[in-house]
Structure 1
Amino acid sequence: MDITTPNLNSLFAQLGLPNSDQAIADFIAQHKMTDNTHIANADFWTQSQRHFIKESLEEDAQWTEVIDQLDAQLRA
């Protein structure tokens, strides 16, 4: 059973990315998406990251809300 608290820091860790607050802020500043790009299809994800995001959203997993938060921040 996964007891990870879903938040941006744990999502970035799950994706294999640096997950400090500064690393997350830097990632968001460097990666932006257009309104017509689905987050799972953004060109900056690896294949495994893309798969995790897509699967989490399809299954309405515990990560869905946090992925949605990241999606919004990548569009701001």
Structure 2
Amino acid sequence: MMQVKVITVQGVQLDAMADAVHVRGIQGELTFLPHHADIIVQLRAGNVQVRAKDAHSDIELTSGYAYMHDGKLIIVGQK
């Protein structure tokens, strides 16, 4: 599992452990899994889909960035 944090101007929308996170980047769709390579992705409008063994969350963003580093994913975006 990996640590995932989704932050907007309204505050922290999600701070949880996840098995997979699916986003819509400006160059296409991308799924982050634990131990994913470090990367920064510019996001376009769409759902951020966070999946864990026993739960899932969908967060609608209009834009933002996803930053994967050292097994932690931070998403900063606009709602």
The alignment's TM-score, normalised by the length of structure 1, stands at 0.29
The alignment's TM-score, normalised by the length of structure 2, stands at 0.29
Larger fraction in strand: 2
Structure showing greater Rg: 1
